[in-house]
């Protein structure tokens, strides 16, 4: 004899009222690896990237928990490409899902730019670690991005005291830019093109002999401490009135020391 089993709906503890009176600034999920269509790194391309996302919202003091599954559902059902220009809409969607006062998103991926060799002009691709990020509350939305840009730096002191040669190393220009969501936003491609020259010489994925000679000689002619790289990058950004604020972190992976050399500053116009 067939019998049907009727399941009684179970309670949802996340909807419970919390009486401890503690509001939570940020709660959500991180390290979400997912394929997302990305647009806006430059003016022409859209590409599907494997991204690592962090999605967080605020939680009222009288609510026990958020619906974390809805965060991933929102990512999966997002229509079209995610870009800085539509980040405000993405944040609004998350806030509405969770009935939260604030939403914060970070979306990390690697964007590949065409990077031909400087003299022989052979084609190559260079990956730039990129993060889209945004925050929204009842006052409005801020959006922006972070880039990790590799450079070469050659030590001025080493060049001065050595009879020949000087030590050089790979440096990193990490820049974080943010705008009001309705301001004019500079493309990451443009910022990369400018800040790759903040050190002693740019870095390339591919170099033939003529290219290597060019890069090493250029670096020797433009020695730079970590402080020099930081100040040069800051001046480049401050000269562009579209940049409202920025954070800069410079790291030199020292080639003759066991430590790194670092410097940082922030600026608001």
Estimate the share of the chain in helix, then strand, then coil, as percent rounded to the nearest 5. Answer: 25, 40, 35
For range 151-175, the mean pLDDT? 95
Rounded to an integer, the average pLDDT of 147-165 is 95
Residue-level pLDDT at 165 = 87
pLDDT at 38 > cutoff 90: yes
pLDDT in tens, 95-125: 999 999 999 999 999 999 999 999 999 999 9
Mean pLDDT for the stretch of residues 66-73 = 93
Structure tokens at 78: 């997002």
DSSP state at residue 242: T
Mean pLDDT for all residues in the chain: 93
Judge if pTM exceeds 0.85: yes
Q: What is the DSSP letter of 9?
A: P
CA angle 240–242–244, rounded 5-degree value = 100
In this structure, are residues 244 and 180 in contact, taking their beta carbons and an 8 Å threshold? Answer: yes
Outline where 133-195 has alpha helix (H): 156-161, 188-195
| Percent of the chain predicted with pLDDT > 90 | 90
For the chain, domains (ranges, CATH) are: 23-268 (3.10.270.10)
């Amino acid at each position: 004899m067939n019998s049907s089993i009727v399941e009684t709906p179970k309670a949802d503890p996340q909807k419970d009222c919390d009486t401890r009176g503690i509001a939570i600034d940020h709660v959500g999920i991180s390290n979400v690896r997912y394929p997302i269509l990305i647009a806006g790194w430059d003016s022409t391309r859209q590409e599907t990237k494997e991204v690592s996302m962090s999605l967080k919202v605020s939680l009222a003091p009288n609510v026990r928990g958020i619906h974390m599954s809805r965060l991933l559902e929102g990512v999966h059902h997002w229509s079209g490409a995610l870009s800085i220009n539509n980040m405000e809409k993405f944040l609004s969607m998350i806030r509405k899902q969770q009935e939260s006062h604030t939403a914060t998103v970070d979306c990390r991926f690697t964007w590949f730019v065409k990077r031909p060799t400087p003299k022989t002009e052979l084609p190559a691709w260079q990956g730039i670690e990129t993060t889209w990020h945004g925050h929204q509350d009842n006052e409005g939305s801020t959006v922006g991005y972070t880039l990790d840009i590799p450079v070469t730096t050659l030590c001025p002191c080493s060049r001065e005291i050595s009879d020949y040669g000087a030590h050089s190393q790979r440096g990193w220009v990490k820049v974080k830019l943010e705008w009001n969501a309705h301001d004019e936003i500079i493309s990451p491609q443009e910022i990369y093109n400018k800040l790759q020259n903040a050190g002693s010489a740019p870095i390339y994925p591919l170099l033939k002999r003529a290219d290597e000679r060019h890069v090493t000689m250029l670096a020797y002619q433009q020695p730079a401490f970590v402080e020099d790289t930081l100040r040069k990058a800051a001046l480049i950004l401050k000269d562009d009135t579209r940049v409202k604020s920025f954070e800069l972190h410079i790291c030199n992976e020292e080639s003759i020391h066991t430590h790194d050399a670092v410097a940082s500053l922030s600026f608001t116009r």
